[in-house]
Structure 1
Amino acid sequence: MMTYQQPQQVQAVIFDWAGTVVDFGSFAPTQIFVEAFAEFGMQVSLEEARGPMGMGKWDHIRTLCNVPEIAERYKAKFGRTPSDEDVTAIYERFMPLQIEKIAEHSALIPGALEVISTLKSTGVKVGSCSGYPKVVMDKVVELAAKNGYMADCVVATDEVPNGRPHPAQSLANVIALGVSDVAACVKVDDTWPGIVEGRSAGMWTVALTCSGNALGLTYEQFKQLPADKLQAERERIEAMFSDSRPHYMIDTIVDLPEVLADINRRLSNGEMPQSS
């Protein structure tokens, strides 16, 4: 007879990339959407482009094209609402632009390297996944390695049958890393599709409110925000995340160690991610 034994501590942390470990403010993906649409004579604002962030990029473009205001702009220009073929055309313009621009926003988020080094030194595995397809991810990974960051596993959105908010990318990490139980995993992300992904995979989830897409500021701008303005922004972003039900919400990756200590405490008390 085999007895199910609940994990007692975290075995792996699965990180998103842009807005989580690299590219404070998540500028690389968003700026390119604006530019790709512009090449088709279409105006899409940075704020609009940030809306579906976290999804795979083709799905992101499809979602943007479904926004009534954007669909109307497209119709005014081309006489029809965007078809899947039109989405693919925009996506195919987006990809080379993305690869070209990725280096401009490849800096590691302050404190990320220290947190991840500590995890690795304590035997916790470091997984990762992204809304980027593999052709972009390869470049992101190469640039991060030059800055000293190497994840134990990288899963791009086009390496699984379904991208976020489906759980496939996180679960591919579980398999590759040899983790014994999904409840021993923590998904860290700055977007709601990434949090739903972790939730759906049966993991603990940690939403980052200030380093990513939702705040959309540079590190310097974030640091200069007056306390009352920062608090108001936190509350706005926490409300945005609430439906995805993250277990924890913190400003940036720097605040992760305390969260992991709390998850270890909860696991050793018999708590599971699905029960809260």
Structure 2
Amino acid sequence: MNYQQPRQLQAAILDWAGTVVDFGSFAPTQIFVEAFAEFGVEVSLAEARGPMGMGKWDHIRTLCNVVEIAERYRAAFGRLPTDDDVTAIYERFMPLQIAKIAEHSALIPGALDTITSLRNQGLKIGSCSGYPAVVMEKVVQLAERNGYVADHVVATDEVPNGRPYPAQALANVIALGISDVAACVKVDDTTPGILEGRSAGMWTVALTCSGNALGLTYAQFKALPAEQLAKERVRIAQLFEGSRPHYLIDTINELPAVIDDINARLKRGETPQGV
């Protein structure tokens, strides 16, 4: 038996907030600000966006490791935050997140038509998120009401290690019956999500404008002057540079053209690991 390199993509593994739903990725970031505030510690929206894409406990731990935030915590409690403190913030974060997830549940404009187009090309639709399962259950329900149902969903606490580890992406490969990781494309708006796809041996597509990096509503994005938007694309591309995405696009709606290009590259014998 000889190895047969895939000749076309079989699956797209999509992130959720900032990729398919919640333009600007506001649901998770705003709740971090509110959860820390309940402990008397100020965290800005920009700071909260920093570790986006990680599992939420790890996200909070990373925020607590930021020197400025750690010092604010020390000022409030007389000591630096421990893992027990992180867990306490996380336990306050979770009910806030569940209660407010519906406020940011709208599908990204055009996403449903784009995903239908991918299915028409024969692609299966996997998905994963930095949300834990209890939050994902509600996210999935809200998305279904709006017409979006992924073929498989993997929450961050359903695998041994969340992003940037490859476990969630690979769990999709197994569940969807994909023959080769090189036949998958991982689409995400965060660096940990791109690293997840890279580590899983997949093609990767970073979204520059619909998610965490730009951090604007759809209306604000559409209202940006062309010159300013061009500068933002350059800035965001630099943020993603270290994670080495294969492609950078504004939103998921540009994905079908990328799929065509990847299929052409696969037919030429190219692999995601070789780029």
Q: Same fold (TM over 0.5)?
A: yes
TM (normalized to structure 1)? Answer: 0.99
Q: Percent identity?
A: 78
**Per-residue CA distance 1:82-124 (angstroms, 9 max, x = gap):** 0000000000000000000000000000110001111112221
2:153 is paired with a residue whose SS is: coil
Q: Say yes or no: does 1:24 pair with 2:27.
A: no
Match of 1:40 in 2: 39
Distance of 1:275 and 1:122 partners within structure 2:
25
Aligned pairs for 1:43-192 within 5 A: 43-192=42-191
Distance of 1:70 and 1:136 partners within structure 2:
26
Q: What letter is aligned with 1:265?
A: A
Match of 2:204 in 1: 205
Deviant stretches of 4+, over 6 Å:
none
2:163 is paired with a residue whose SS is: coil
Distance of 1:73 and 1:34 partners within structure 2:
13
Match of 1:218 in 2: 217
Cα RMSD after superposing both structures: 0.4
- Contact 2:117-2:256 at 8 Å conserved across structures: no
Distance of 1:174 and 1:94 partners within structure 2:
31
1:98 is paired with a residue whose SS is: helix
Question: Can you give the 5+ residue segments of structure 1 that lack an aligned partner in the other structure?
Answer: none
- Contact 2:63-2:69 at 8 Å conserved across structures: yes
Deviation for aligned residue 1:182: 0.0
Distance of 1:6 and 1:234 partners within structure 2:
34
Question: Can you give the 5+ residue segments of structure 2 that lack an aligned partner in the other structure?
Answer: none
Q: Say yes or no: does 1:251 pair with 2:250.
A: yes
Deviation for aligned residue 1:184: 0.1
Distance of 1:268 and 1:80 partners within structure 2:
58
Instruction: State how many pairs are aligned.
Output: 275
Match of 1:194 in 2: 193
1:180 is paired with a residue whose SS is: coil
TM (normalized to structure 2)? Answer: 1.00
- Contact 2:202-2:272 at 8 Å conserved across structures: yes
Distance of 1:148 and 1:212 partners within structure 2:
20
Distance of 1:274 and 1:181 partners within structure 2:
12
